[in-house]
Homo-oligomer: A and B are copies of this chain.
Amino acid sequence: MKENTQKKMYTEMECAKNLAAVEDALYVLGGKWKLRIIIALVSGYTRFNEIQRTVKGISARVLSNELKSLEMNELVKRVVHADCVPVIVEYVPTDYTETLKELVSILGKWGINHKKRITSTN
């Protein structure tokens, strides 16, 4: 016996759509490192070792993989300056990366606020 008498705040379809949309986003941005790397990139840290130093705790292997994944999603562009010796490689954010600024900003603000909330004695 199913009770359909409950008032849902959203219809099933709306819920499913939100779920699917957030899943799509998390597929690209989820995980421990991706957003952190993006922050480093837009902060102007564009070279491999520089990014590794900025994003504390990440290993070269993981950074390498994550950069490839971000590149596939057009959130970073790998630029090789072949004229220099030794060759310089830069990972530069794209115009599309800009579309994440609002998201990162809101996430950061929420994080600051949440830390305050949880830290403060109740």
Contacts and interface: CB of A to CB of B under 8 A. Distances in A.
Interface of A: 6-10, 14-15, 18-26, 28-32, 35-36, 39-40, 42-45, 54-56, 73-74, 96, 99-100, 102-104, 106-115, 117-118
Nearest to A75: B114
A9 B106 contact: no
A15 B36 contact: no
Given A25-B114, A114-B24, A108 B43 contact: no
Interface of A is mostly: helix
A106 B22 CA distance: 9
Nearest to A11: B43
A111 B22 CA distance: 6
